[in-house]
Chain A
């Protein structure tokens, strides 16, 4: 199948998911439960997407574990997004390189 059809379907689906809540739900939600639920969604979602998937995304388990520890510590001390992301990559890179040398 033509790859551009895939790309169009993919982009349209993703955009509609983003567009509908921004255009249809235009009145304030007053229900406390719903508002609380929506408040927690992004943090729950990002946490679930990160672990344990990250630990299995490198060639060696140890590099991912060290990388996630570095990321968590730096994030805990409120380092910026780019510092956390770059340090995670650096730790994984160094550990993976160490394995190739051993």
Chain B
């Protein structure tokens, strides 16, 4: 059973790892062109395992900003992980020990979270270990490759690789919005908000990291008020899991 769940985790993690390979290649390229060494860029990816936060953190480093600005940038851009961690913690229930939770927290990325939340079996540490392993390898090795080879590539290829991350995001929220009308409504609300923060004067002076947080909270609160999830939903999945 454990071995099966581990292998299922690996299998579920493989497409995420391949996507990460492409996206982190772009990160490695960008880091190298900003004067960061391949070792340093790889270390950032290995220790952070996050997309948007790393891109923002890179500019903090390159611009030699104060450390508190690094903390604030990460807090704002990565605050969604706090909310995702809450959901994940709920789904894990009592299955996991404290050390297992320390390990599972490390691999809580957008895509791993979305995958973990969509499985119908219990979220055991062994499944999460399988799910997290390949994405860590993909994210780290892609960064190394990008940092080493990035300067050899034409800029057009770099630009094209840079949009891979958006493709990954779209692959997570569009299918869910198709399946569930409430999610569609929440996604549309978040988009309206996001466009407002981008194009309306004054609103667009707010940093992109902060506007993402504000839009996320507004859209999710609207969703929770208008379309509260059914209680049976969680009970059913627990029964199915047993």
Interface residues of A (CB under 8 A from B): 1, 3-11, 13-15, 17-23, 25-26, 28-29, 32-54, 57-59, 64, 67-68, 71-72, 74-76, 78-82, 84-90, 92-93, 96-97, 100
Complex CA gap A49/B160 in Å reads 18
Interface string of B153-166 (1 = CB under 8 A from A): 00011011111111
Evaluate whether A52 and B187 lie within 8 angstroms (CB atoms) in the complex, with A6-B67, A23-B101, A57-B166 already known: no
The answer on a CB contact under 8 Å between B85 and A48 is no
In order of increasing CB-CB distance, the 9 nearest A-B pairs are: A21-B85, A88-B167, A75-B174, A93-B160, A85-B167, A36-B224, A11-B47, A44-B219, A84-B171
Interface residues of B (CB under 8 A from A): 15-16, 18-19, 22-23, 36, 40, 43-44, 47-50, 52-54, 57, 60-61, 64, 67, 70-71, 74-75, 78-90, 92-93, 98, 101-102, 104-106, 108, 110-111, 113-114, 117, 156-157, 159-178, 182-183, 186-187, 189-191, 193-195, 198-199, 208, 211-212, 215-216, 219-221, 223-225, 227-229, 231, 234
Q: Offer 5 A-B interface pairs, CB within 8 angstroms, sorted by A.
A: A35-B90, A39-B223, A45-B80, A48-B211, A88-B166
Residues of A with C-beta under 8 A to B219:
40, 44, 47-48
Smallest CB–CB gap between A72 and chain B, Å?
6
Query: Chain A: interface secondary structure?
Result: helix
- Across the interface, B93 reaches (CB within 8 A) one of A17, A28, A38, A67, namely A28
The answer on a CB contact under 8 Å between B83 and A41 is yes
Complex CA gap A37/B82 in Å reads 13
Complex CA gap A5/B66 in Å reads 11
Complex CA gap A18/B86 in Å reads 9
The answer on a CB contact under 8 Å between A23 and B15 is no
Residues of B with C-beta under 8 A to A1:
64, 67
The answer on a CB contact under 8 Å between A75 and B175 is yes
Residue from the set A14, A48, A52 with the largest chain B CB neighbour count within 10 Å: A48
Query: Chain B: interface secondary structure?
Result: helix
The answer on a CB contact under 8 Å between A37 and B224 is yes
Residues of A with C-beta under 8 A to B54:
10
Complex CA gap A34/B200 in Å reads 30
The answer on a CB contact under 8 Å between B78 and A13 is yes
The answer on a CB contact under 8 Å between B67 and A7 is no
The answer on a CB contact under 8 Å between B89 and A21 is yes
Complex CA gap A39/B226 in Å reads 13
Evaluate whether A71 and B171 lie within 8 angstroms (CB atoms) in the complex, with A20-B85, A48-B215 already known: yes
The answer on a CB contact under 8 Å between A85 and B156 is no
Smallest CB–CB gap between B226 and chain A, Å?
9
Complex CA gap A18/B112 in Å reads 13
With A23-B105, A38-B90 known, 15 other A-B pairs at CB within 8 A are A10-B47, A10-B54, A14-B50, A14-B78, A17-B79, A26-B89, A29-B86, A40-B224, A42-B117, A45-B83, A48-B191, A53-B208, A59-B156, A76-B174, A89-B160
Residues of B with C-beta under 8 A to A32:
228-229, 231
The answer on a CB contact under 8 Å between B111 and A68 is no
Complex CA gap A41/B86 in Å reads 11
Smallest CB–CB gap between A30 and chain B, Å?
9
Complex CA gap A44/B192 in Å reads 11
